[in-house]
Structure 1
Amino acid sequence: MAALNIRVQAGARREKIIGFAEGLLRVSVQAPPVEGAANRALIRLLARSFHTGPSRIRLVCGKRSKNKTVELMDLSAETLRERLEEFASKPPE
């Protein structure tokens, strides 16, 4: 299991992982921050990006905040680190 700190921009034009810097994954989702819609969109995006099922991702902290912490249950810390390095090497959009 691996934990990940995330900064979410809800109500964006596109759903994407913007990048990773300073220990924080920056993500944008189209869903508005209303009644958990943005949280559900975040979990779907993370599931696609990390090749796991949405049920294997748990929102631990930040249900009503832009800053969140999630647990990825099927990922080792090493696999998570490798994926985050890929996101960090992408130029910001």
Structure 2
Amino acid sequence: MGVRITFYIQPGAKKTEVAGEFNNMTKIKVASPPVDGAANKELIKFLAKKLGVSKSSVKIVSGEKSRIKTVEFLEDIDLSKL
């Protein structure tokens, strides 16, 4: 089991970026709309690139249809890159 982190996601933003904190969670704005899993895919792609890990090592373990998502990282990550 890897590291699990809970994020607050705001879909449909102008660009995908880390946007500070919200209720003690890291807030991430995602450019994709919350339709057909597009925002989830964008989130995984963004986190993998930002943290320097493979997309296959980033998994949403809860909150697939919610703004509050728990993400598991199967590789070692450096949170200072967020």
TM-score greater than 0.5 by the shorter chain: yes
Deviating beyond 2 angstroms after TM superposition, the runs of 4 or more aligned structure 1 residues are 19-23
**Any residues of structure 2 matched to 1:1-93 within 5 Å, and which?**
1-20=2-21, 23-75=24-76, 79-80=78-79, 83=80, 87=82
CA contact (8 A) 2:9 2:27 kept: yes
Counterparts in 2 of 1:64 and 1:50: CA distance versus 1, 3 Å: same
Counterparts in 2 of 1:30 and 1:21: CA distance versus 1, 3 Å: closer
CA contact (8 A) 1:5 1:23 kept: no
SS in 1 for 2:41: helix
Q: TM-score under structure 2 normalisation?
A: 0.88
More strand as a share of residues: 2
Question: Which residue matches 1:91?
Answer: none
Gaps of 5+ in 1: 88-93
Counterpart amino acid of residue 37 in structure 2: G
Q: TM-score under structure 1 normalisation?
A: 0.78
SS in 2 for 1:55: helix
Q: How large is the RMSD of aligned CA atoms in angstroms?
A: 1.7
More helix as a share of residues: 1
Q: How many residues align?
A: 81
1:21 Cα offset (Å) = 6.0
Identity %: 31
CA contact (8 A) 2:8 2:22 kept: no
